Amino acid sequence: MKILVTGAAGFIGSNLCDYLLTQGAQVAGVDNFSTGHREFLAQATAHKKFEFHEVDLLDFERTRETLAAFTPETVVHLAANADVRFGLQHPRKDLDQGTVVTFNVLESARLAGVKKFAFASTGSVYGEPVIFPTPETCPFPVQTSLYAAAKLAAEGLIAAYAEGYGMKGYIFRFVSILGDRYSHGHVFDFANKLHANSANIEVLGDGKQTKAYLHVSDCVAAIWHVLGSCNEKVNLFNLGPDEYITVDQSLDIICKVMGMHPKRQYTGGKRGWTGDSPFIFLDCARLKATGWKARKTISESVELTIRYLLGNDWLLKRR
Ligand X SMILES: NC(=O)c1ccc[n+]([C@@H]2O[C@H](COP(=O)([O-])OP(=O)(O)OC[C@H]3O[C@@H](n4cnc5c(N)ncnc54)[C@H](O)[C@@H]3O)[C@@H](O)[C@H]2O)c1
* Residues at the interface with ligand X (CB under 6 A): 7, 9-13, 31-36, 56-58, 78-80, 82, 97, 101, 120, 122, 174, 176-177, 183, 185
Residue 32 or 99 with smaller CB distance to ligand X: 32
The least CB distance from residue 318 to ligand X, in Å, is 13
Residue 168 or 186 with smaller CB distance to ligand X: 186
The β-bridge relationship of strands 50-54 and 200-203 is unpaired
The least CB distance from residue 110 to ligand X, in Å, is 18
Taking CA atoms, 219 is separated from 17, 177, 313, in Å, by: 12, 8, 24
The least CB distance from residue 56 to ligand X, in Å, is 5
Return the sign of the alpha-carbon dihedral for residues 91, 97, 100, 102: negative
The least CB distance from residue 85 to ligand X, in Å, is 12
CA dist., res. 167 & res. 74, Å (int): 10
CA dist., res. 127 & res. 269, Å (int): 17
Residue 39 or 260 with smaller CB distance to ligand X: 39
Closest CA relative to residue 57, chosen from 20, 24, 106, 92: 106
Residue 21 or 178 with smaller CB distance to ligand X: 178
The least CB distance from residue 43 to ligand X, in Å, is 15
CA dist., res. 210 & res. 249, Å (int): 9
CA dihedral 201, 205, 210, 215 (to 10 degrees): -50
The neighbour count for residue 138, using CB atoms within 10 Å, is: 17
Dihedral pair phi/psi, residue 148, rounded to 5°: -70, -35
Residue 54 or 206 with smaller CB distance to ligand X: 54
Residue 175 or 262 with smaller CB distance to ligand X: 175
The least CB distance from residue 258 to ligand X, in Å, is 21
Q: Is the peptide bond before 133 cis (omega within 30 degrees of 0)?
A: yes
Buried b (16+ CB within 10 A) or exposed e, 201-216: bebbbbbebbbbbbbb
Residue 26 or 124 with smaller CB distance to ligand X: 124
Residue 84 or 201 with smaller CB distance to ligand X: 84
CA dist., res. 237 & res. 35, Å (int): 26
The answer to whether 211 and 175 are in contact (CB under 8 A) is yes
Element (H, E) at 132: none
The least CB distance from residue 208 to ligand X, in Å, is 20
The answer to whether 213 and 243 are in contact (CB under 8 A) is no
Q: Per 3-state DSSP, what percentage of the chain is helix, strand, and coil (rounded to 5)?
A: 45, 20, 35
CA dist., res. 178 & res. 194, Å (int): 18
Residue 78 or 162 with smaller CB distance to ligand X: 78
The least CB distance from residue 265 to ligand X, in Å, is 25
The least CB distance from residue 101 to ligand X, in Å, is 5
